[in-house]
Homo-oligomer: A and B are copies of this chain.
Amino acid sequence: MIVPASEADGSAIQRITATAGNFSDEEIECVKELWDEYLNEGPEISGYHFVVQKEGRQVFGYACYGPRALTQDTYDLYWIAADIQARRHGTGRALMDYVEQQIAAKGGRLILVETSSQEMYIGTRKFYESLGYIPEAIIQDFYSDGDDLVIYTKKLPH
């Protein structure tokens, strides 16, 4: 089942991020910071909504999304990661479906996902594309020289 994350899920979220293999130390630290804000301030004030797929105490994956400041009903998907053992079981797709439903229920119109143009993210990009996300914009050399930002978008029916 997929539910809002609770404090006990924190260590699994950090472990899944650290073992995913495609996050840098700075990105792992960033997830911790968003998680702390989510725990301390709650999703509405922090703007970070963490959700987990779990059975009992076992967490298979998580996602973090929230409203984009200064926009009307546009949302960012900040992070999504699945346990490396859980990926074949559709955790990523189930989390994306859940997040899209949650955003739609809040009146969201548009979802943005940012990722890298690097070869190691080709699986990530194909995953978003398979879910109807469009690579709408590219910022060349955004992350570093030769590593572009790709902004995927998906419009929700409303």
Contact = CB atoms under 8 A, between A and B. Distances in A.
Given A30-B69, A70-B30, A144-B72, A139 B155 contact: no
A139 B141 contact: no
Contacts of A68: 142
Interface string A128-158: 0000000011111111110000010101000
Given A70-B27, A71-B144, A145-B109, A151 B136 contact: no
Copies of this chain in its oligomeric complex:
2
B136 A140 contact: yes
Contacts of A72: 143-144
Nearest to A134: B140
Interface in A93-122: 109-110, 112
Interface of A: 24, 26-27, 30, 68-74, 109-110, 112, 136-145, 151, 153, 155
